[in-house]
Amino acid sequence: MNFLAPEMLPYSVAFMIFAIIAFLEFTSLLLGWAIFGFLDDFLVSNHSDIHIESTSSLGNFFGYINPLKVPFSMVLVSFFFIFGFTGTLLLNIFGLLPLFVTLPIVVVITFVLLRHTTNIIGKILPKETTEVVSTDSFIGKIALILDPTAKRDLPARAKMSDVYGSNHYIRVEPLADDEVLSEGDEVIVMEKSESIFLVEKRLDIERRDSDN
């Protein structure tokens, strides 16, 4: 089958987008980054009322496809894979049907399967990867440095827990220009600068508070 045929093109493009997003997500997990974290931040801050009982159309839609609120990047990966796979399977079975015939069928099947897929992901993956919270809520939380060294312009990975007790892995730098953090240091998240969090050693803050 010609994957560049007009009848196949949307499904071939979906597979390509799926591969790109999956690669970026896998790479970000290895490096401790949050490439698609801004999507979850946007949804949390702007659609915090989105759940299955929501009375809005948008709330009902998001609640239907993602009832367990897994990270939105996983929803995207699942959507493009299911869309591409369903369309390709349909055309392999019935031949190169016109898009106006296959597209509505594939879209309906995709959203039905997407709900079941996100349910499975939410139940299988560890809790720390399935909670969606705004990264702005990380300010003031305690984190543990995981890499050997962290200094200005040389961020390190750190592990912290949110209000739900779920673990998150973030990239941190010391707030002070001349400070150097080491593996095992406990730090407190003070500020957020794009995808990097600026932190101070917990002991330094406690010592400064005791002096005051």
Token pair of 40, please? 């979850």
Biggest CA-to-CA distance, the chain: 77
pLDDT score of 24 = 81
pLDDT score of 80 = 94
% helix / strand / coil in the chain, to the nearest 5?
50, 20, 30
Task: State the span(s) of the chain assigned CATH 2.40.50.140.
Answer: 135-211
Q: Does domain 135-211 have CATH number 2.40.50.140?
A: yes
Token pair of 80, please? 């493009």
Those residues with Cβ within 8 angstroms of residue 4's Cβ, 6 or more apart along the chain or in another chain: 12
pLDDT score of 118 = 85
Nearest Cα to Cα of residue 172 among 41, 194, 208: 194
Nearest Cα to Cα of residue 53 among 45, 62, 40: 62
User: What is the rounded CA–CA span in Å between residue 154 and residue 177?
Assistant: 11
- Chunked into runs of 10 residues, the chain (212 residues) has average pLDDT values of 81 93 76 57 45 47 66 84 94 89 94 89 61 70 89 87 75 90 91 87 75 65
pLDDT score of 79 = 93
pLDDT score of 211 = 66
CB 167, CB 129: distance < 8 Å: no
Nearest Cα to Cα of residue 80 among 23, 37, 12, 17: 17
Q: Determine if the pTM surpasses 0.85.
A: no
